[in-house]
Amino acid sequence: MGKRIFLCTLCILLLLSGLPAGAVSEKRTETEWSIETVDASTWSGMYASLSLFSDNRRAAAAYYDGTNGDLRYAHHDGLRWNRETVDAFGVVGEYASLALDSQNRPRIAYYDRTNGNLKYAAWTGTTWNIVVVDAPDDVGQYASLALYDAAWPCIAYYDATHGYLKYAWNDGAFWHIGAVDTTGDAGRYASLALDNQNRPRIAYYAASSGDLRYAWNDGAVWQWEAVDTAGDVGRYASLALDANGRPHIAYYDGTNGNLKHAWSDGVSWHIETVDAAGDVGRYASLKLDGSGLPHIAYYDGTNDDLKHAWSDGASWHIETVYAAGVVGQHASLALDGSDRPYIAFYDDTAGNLKWAYPCQALSASFEVPPAPYCVGETVPFTNTTVSTWTVSFLWSFGDGATSTETHPLHAYTAAGTFPVVLTATNACSQDTFSRTLELWDAPTAAFTHTVPACVDRTTAFTFTGRVSGTAFFRWEFGDKTPPVTGTATPTHVYTATGTYLVNLFVQNECGFSAAQEGLAVYEVPSAGFLHGPNPSCGTVAFTNTTAGGAAYLWDFGDGMTSTLENPVHAYAVPGFYTVTLRAWGEGGCEDRAEGLQEVWAPVSGLDMGWEPDPPAAGEVVTFTAWAEGVPPPTFTWDFGDGTPPASGGVVTHTYAPTGEPTRTYTVTVRAENACGEEELRRPVVVAAAPTASFRTNAPVCLPETVVFTSTARGAPPLSYLWSFGDGITSTLENPTHTYAAGGLYTAVLTVSNPYGRDAAAGEVEVREGPAGANALCLPQEVPPGGVVTCTASASGYPAPLFTWAFGDGGYGSGEVVTHTYAATGTYTVRMTATNACGEAAARTAVAVACCTAPSGLSLTYAPRPLLRGQVGTFTATLTAGSLPLTFAWDFDDGSPWAYGQVVTHTYTSTGVYTVGAAAWNGCGTAGPVYVPVQVVSPVHRVYLPLVARGLYAGDGYEPDNTPEQARPLLPGIFQEHDFAPPGDVDWVYLESGGGTFVVRTFDLEGGADTYLHLYRQDGTLVVENDDCGNPPPDELSSCITVTLGAGRYFLRIDQPATTPGGPKWGRDVRYKVEAVGP
């Protein structure tokens, strides 16, 4: 029942962890550690206890299998881990403690949770011997085992029933048990060591007082003392004794979450903190190296890592051994004879037992017996690889076979050269070793020879059997000639017909073989033939004159063959052909004869043509005929007009005018050679009317002259009229003309004779070189890094292409280009315009200087207010900017832009205008900035008292009683208002581009007392004022001085409640308001 509950608890923890069962995530740290899974079974590896065999090449671990509740034991045989279950009766195996005796046989002390007993298991060499050491109380937790004289077990453990630390030892016959410390709850986390006199020493934790204690037996009684009482200290205690028997204890400081180390110098205890980086120190395991210096393996609970700390006698060094998941609990440390550390630990993420050991490279090698190696024999491979800990082997024998054995045996089934490769792998390295084996086979004698074997001809013999290694050959040809040795491919010439017995003997290091064959030798025929006629017009007769022939094969040289004795062959294509006759005798011996045959061909493919086509009466016509045939044919012509015949492949003829516009003649040509003839007739139409056409030497470049050449045909006389496309004409047959300008012209030639007229047109391209080249680069002054834009222009046909050299090593192309200058200086920019007729160049200069871009642009104008029709003067000022500077103005009335720092302008209509200006030079631009300008009509004041039934209509700005009705208040222009009708409130607004404003009101008459409120557009109050202060113009005025950002601001003007005698209303209660600002 206890085991079942424990297993269910583990399952719940697995589900809560969110990790899949059996998951393994391994990672090496930067130190040279190798990490290996010892037991991948789920929840195996808690309460691990590690020991090394005396040869330092094998290891053993005892641990608890949490899945099955068993005690497990694993041992490493130098190559791999082997695992077995030691005890499976109940929930057993917690608090396992392992020790190896002098024969490296394992002994394990552990806790039986099902029965609450302390148990001890010893391997006899063939089986496990298990005994109960202490019962029936709940005893055995925190067991710690040591061997007396490397043979007899001693165990420190915790009595949970009484809260005692107990000690049990075996004398070879009986177990002796006694209490060590019965003061309070003492004995948890017990760690036992025996001194050099085999006297027990125990470090342990006293739970009742939270102290680390140390107990020792002087041979008679047990004594103990408190080592560390500073807080809750002493859990996970691990004890080791140096060569002088002085104790060292690693333990966990639960109050501070630190790993601590305590040691005694024989007089007093010394305590130090080893690691305080987070919650560290649980599952501490301590060992002393050959110099007596401590090494500690432990768990880092903050980072869930396995760590290793060691002292060099002056300071502690700490490294993270493994950090993949939750690892490092149940750590157990061992040191080999070279003080290299080995750590067994529990991987809580994967739920299995792992161990860490220093990474050590391996060196693969193997040996084989000396050669030779014969097929079918077993080759033993001796593995001589040098390695530490787990190593796997993969053999590749070169014939497709492999093995993972350490020392394999392999038999090859075929001869050949085989590369044998051994790959050895451990957790941190891999190495390969290879060597080549040559396998030989016992020979198999067999041979072939050329067939047939013929008298006085070479017969070649070829060994076709199988042999490897060093082969010996002996050939006997059966004709009483000496045998031939040392070759697999001899040749031999037989001088007489007959049957001969041939013998072959073959031998190598793996065996001997012989082969024999009867060989028939035959007579050779004498080939020959006659053929004719030669040359032939296609068909040739062949007469065989071979002596001793029995079979024949003719090759006529044109891809055709025959096996007749005396064949006749018709050739399809003329030429020279090599004819071959192959003749075979009765035994198959062959002879050959050759002859050369010439073949002619009759006339074929006759055709004709003439030029010009169509021809004109009175002009020379060239007739051409062509045809195939061997020998080449001759040609005879009849022109169809009664004139004598002509001969030749190319002839000329002139047809006489007949007075008709056209006439058709039948032209006949006959082709003939020694093998035949062929005739062809064609109609030829001869025209008398002209056909216009011409050619020129265009394109030309001005001022070159265009030469016009007429290619017109027709019966004479011919007359010509040329139109050159530029208004100029000519009546010459082949005129010349010089055009005044470049371009594409259409020239027309009109040709006439008594029989008709024809015209032809053609384009004439007249090219003109570039001219009028001009280059402009703006701005002409830029700072380093400034960009200029350059524009090119030039005439010419076709349109020229533009290239630029900017004077600083830079180049460009195009009509408009940009260029960036990096350094100061004055640069000459050269532009070249190019087309097919030449080039033209232009130059301009660009200055690159450290100039200052304009800034701080502000605008003013006068007079104020500006009257309609009045000339206003507008002035722009800058706080900085290098000359030359350009100023541009926009007056917002549709008029053209004005340029200059000071300009004048006259408005023709009243209103408020937003005047803008900008300034720039080669280094930058300022603005645009804007200023509002109010243009008013000339003032003509008329005072009209407006009184009607006691009501007053108000001033000229009404209605202005809400922000939505507010009128603009322009800086420098005052407004006059009155407080009428009763309750009147006036609103105006300011447009601010940013800056400081002064707003003032003055009483004009009637004792107008004013109160100012300045609001933002969202309605929030900026500032308010009743009286101006010192020195006020009078107590009725108000004034505001305020710095504003960009935007619109609203002024509310009313009478304060504190006005002496109360607010006054009426047409005669007047005030003025003005604003002064940027």
Q: Which residues partner with 672 through β-bridges?
A: 634, 677
Say yes or no: 470 and 413 in one domain.
no
Output the pLDDT for position 103.
94
pLDDT at 331 over 90: yes
Strongest mean pLDDT among 84-93, 215-224, 844-853? 84-93
Output the pLDDT for position 938.
60
Last residue of a domain, one of 848, 869, 885: 848
Mean pLDDT of 606-627: 90
Asked if residue 952 belongs to a domain, the reply is no
Last residue of a domain, one of 794, 828, 848: 848
Cα 343 to the center of its chain, rounded Å: 42
Asked if residue 453 belongs to a domain, the reply is yes
Radius of gyration for the alpha carbons in the chain, expressed in angstroms and rounded? 62
DSSP per residue over 41-70, as a string?
STTEEEEEEEEE-TTSS-EEEEEEETTTTE
Are 178 and 134 in contact by the 8 Å Cβ rule? The answer is no
DSSP H or E segment with residue 320: strand 316-322
Asked if residue 582 belongs to a domain, the reply is yes
Domain that holds residue 154: 2-358
Asked if residue 941 belongs to a domain, the reply is no
Phi/psi at 583 (5° precision): -120, 135
Say yes or no: 589 and 608 in one domain.
no
Output the pLDDT for position 1010.
85
Confidence of residue 30 (pLDDT cuts 50, 70, 90): very low
Mean pLDDT of 209-236: 95
Report percent pLDDT > 70 for the chain. Answer: 94
Distance CA 365, CA 431 (A): 9
Output the pLDDT for position 952.
32
pLDDT at 29 over 80: no
Asked if residue 278 belongs to a domain, the reply is yes
Confidence of residue 376 (pLDDT cuts 50, 70, 90): confident
Distance CA 525, CA 590 (A): 7
Cα separation of the two ends of the chain: 96
Q: Establish whether the linkage from the previous residue to 982 is cis, with ω within 30° of 0.
A: no
Output the pLDDT for position 17.
33
Mean pLDDT of 331-352: 95
Distance CA 791, CA 793 (A): 7
Say yes or no: 664 and 702 in one domain.
no
Output the pLDDT for position 31.
55
Asked if residue 672 belongs to a domain, the reply is yes
DSSP summary character for residue 151? T
Output the pLDDT for position 487.
95
Q: Can you give the CATH number for the domain in which 795 is found? A: 2.60.40.10
Mean pLDDT of 645-655: 94
pLDDT at 944 over 50: no
Mean pLDDT of 657-679: 89
Q: What distances in angstroms separate CA 845 from CA 385, 781, 807, one per listed residue?
A: 83, 9, 9
Say yes or no: 165 and 198 in one domain.
yes
DSSP H or E segment with residue 950: none
Query: Is 1 exposed, middle or buried (CB count within 10 Å of its CB: 0-12, 13-18, 19+)?
Result: exposed
Q: How many domains are contained in the chain? A: 9
Say yes or no: 240 and 381 in one domain.
no
Q: Are β-strands 561-562 and 590-599 bridged in parallel, bridged antiparallel, or unpaired?
A: unpaired
DSSP summary character for residue 965? G
Output the pLDDT for position 939.
38
Q: Can you give the CATH number for the domain in which 140 is found? A: 2.120.10.70
Mean pLDDT of the chain: 88
Count of CB atoms within 10 A of residue 588's CB? 14
Say yes or no: 311 and 375 in one domain.
no
pLDDT at 632 over 60: yes
Beta-carbon contacts of 939 under 8 Å, excluding residues fewer than 6 positions away, are: none
Say yes or no: 559 and 647 in one domain.
no
Are 810 and 778 in contact by the 8 Å Cβ rule? The answer is no
pLDDT digits (tens, 9 = 90+) for 36-78: 999 999 999 999 999 999 988 889 999 999 999 999 999 998 7
Asked if residue 958 belongs to a domain, the reply is no
pLDDT digits (tens, 9 = 90+) for 994-1026: 888 888 887 777 778 888 889 998 888 888 887
Confidence of residue 476 (pLDDT cuts 50, 70, 90): very high
pLDDT at 19 over 70: no
Say yes or no: 537 and 667 in one domain.
no
Mean pLDDT of 309-335: 96
Say yes or no: 795 and 915 in one domain.
no
Say yes or no: 995 and 1066 in one domain.
yes
Phi/psi at 77 (5° precision): -90, 15
pLDDT digits (tens, 9 = 90+) for 491-518: 999 999 999 999 999 999 888 999 999 9
Say yes or no: 29 and 159 in one domain.
yes
Output the pLDDT for position 661.
74
Instruction: Write down the residue that tokens 């000359």 correspond to.
Output: 883
Last residue of a domain, one of 642, 672, 687: 687
Q: How many CA atoms lie within 13 A of 682 on its CB side?
A: 17
Output the pLDDT for position 941.
30
Count of CB atoms within 10 A of residue 450's CB? 13
Asked if residue 955 belongs to a domain, the reply is no
Q: Which of 108-122, 257-271, 770-784 has the lowest mean pLDDT?
A: 770-784
pLDDT digits (tens, 9 = 90+) for 391-410: 889 999 999 999 999 899 99
Say yes or no: 37 and 17 in one domain.
yes
Instruction: Write down the residue that tokens 């020979």 correspond to.
Output: 443
